[in-house]
């Protein structure tokens, strides 16, 4: 047997050990996954998400609805709607719903006929009988009725006009014109009412006024009855 020097045998042993270690490293842990050393990255961690409202900023996280409120010193949509008025001696606007005259605060009357050109013209007057200032706006509702309360003829037709809000202090009045063609001239069918029912604007309850204006047209040719918008005062 040939003699192998000790140094040569020691070198061969080292080479074999290195080869075995290299083979084990390539095979991994037996399931195909390879083990990698941990990696350290520099930077600053982001703060955790906060699902609550920050008291300092007043902001709300995504997905949450902000609370609704009416800021102090502002008015709601109702208070700023068209038809608002300003009371005497005050700069604070009030809604027509709050300041309008209610049926119980008004008195109705029918003024004297002012005929002309084949037309009969009656002012229908609403007077504030209450102790407070209130408003009326637009057209009243009218209906002729007989002694049993049955309506005679259709509702009056509204003439074109520009409604305005009329402020009525206690004792003040507003009027609307009730107009129709003279039945003797127009040839319309007639009836003689006992009363006229007057409903103030935006109200449901009516006021009943005795009718002394004679026959009114209820059907046929030229039987329409017309009504004008309310205006300040008691008549033309």
Residue 30 forms part of a structural domain: no
> Is the backbone of residue 235 left (phi > 0), alpha (psi -120 to 50) or beta?
left
Instruction: Indicate the number of domains in the chain.
Output: 1
Burial class (CB in 10 A: 0-12, 13-18, 19+), 63: exposed
Residue 170 forms part of a structural domain: yes
pLDDT digits (tens, 9 = 90+) for 26-44: 444 444 444 444 444 344 3
Whether residue 203 contacts residue 135, with contact meaning beta carbons closer than 8 Å, is answered with no
Q: Please tell me the predicted confidence (pLDDT) of residue 25.
A: 40
What is the widest separation between alpha-carbon atoms in the chain?
158
Structural domain harbouring 203: 103-232
End-to-end CA distance of the chain: 149
Q: Please tell me the predicted confidence (pLDDT) of residue 222.
A: 81
**Cα–Cα dist 162/231, whole Å:** 10
Residue 115 forms part of a structural domain: yes
Residue 189 forms part of a structural domain: yes
CATH code for position 225: 2.60.40
Low-confidence ranges of the chain (pLDDT < 70): 1-97
Q: Please tell me the predicted confidence (pLDDT) of residue 97.
A: 53
217 φ, ψ to 5°? -70, 135
Residue 37 forms part of a structural domain: no
**Assigned token pair, 47:** 């703060």
Residue 135 forms part of a structural domain: yes
3-state DSSP helix/strand/coil % of the chain, to nearest 5: 15, 30, 60
Q: Cα torsion for 224, 225, 228, 234, to the nearest 10°?
A: 160
User: What pTM was computed for the model?
Assistant: 0.59
Residue 179 forms part of a structural domain: yes
């Amino acid at each position: 047997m040939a003699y192998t020097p000790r140094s040569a045998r020691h070198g061969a042993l080292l080479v074999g050990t290195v080869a075995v270690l290299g083979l084990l490293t390539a095979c991994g842990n037996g399931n195909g996954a390879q083990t990698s050393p941990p990696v350290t990255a520099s930077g600053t961690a982001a703060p955790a998400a906060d699902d609550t409202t920050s008291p300092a900023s007043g902001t709300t996280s995504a997905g949450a609805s902000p609370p609704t409120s009416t800021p102090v010193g502002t008015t709601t949509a109702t208070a700023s709607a068209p038809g608002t008025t300003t009371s005497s001696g005050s700069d604070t606007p009030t809604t027509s719903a709050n300041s309008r005259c209610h049926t119980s605060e008004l008195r109705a009357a029918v003024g004297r006929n002012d005929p002309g050109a084949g037309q009969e013209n009656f002012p229908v007057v609403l007077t504030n009988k209450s102790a407070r200032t209130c408003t009326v706006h637009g057209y009243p509702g009218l209906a002729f009725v007989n002694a049993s309360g049955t309506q005679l003829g259709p509702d009056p037709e509204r003439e074109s006009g520009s409604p305005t809000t009329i402020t009525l202090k206690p004792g003040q009045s507003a009027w609307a014109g009730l107009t129709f063609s003279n039945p003797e001239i127009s040839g319309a069918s007639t009836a003689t009412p006992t009363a006229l029912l007057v409903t103030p604007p935006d109200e449901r309850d009516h006021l009943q006024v005795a009718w002394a204006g004679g026959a009114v047209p209820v059907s046929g040719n030229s039987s329409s009855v017309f009504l004008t918008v309310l205006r300040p005062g008691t008549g033309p």
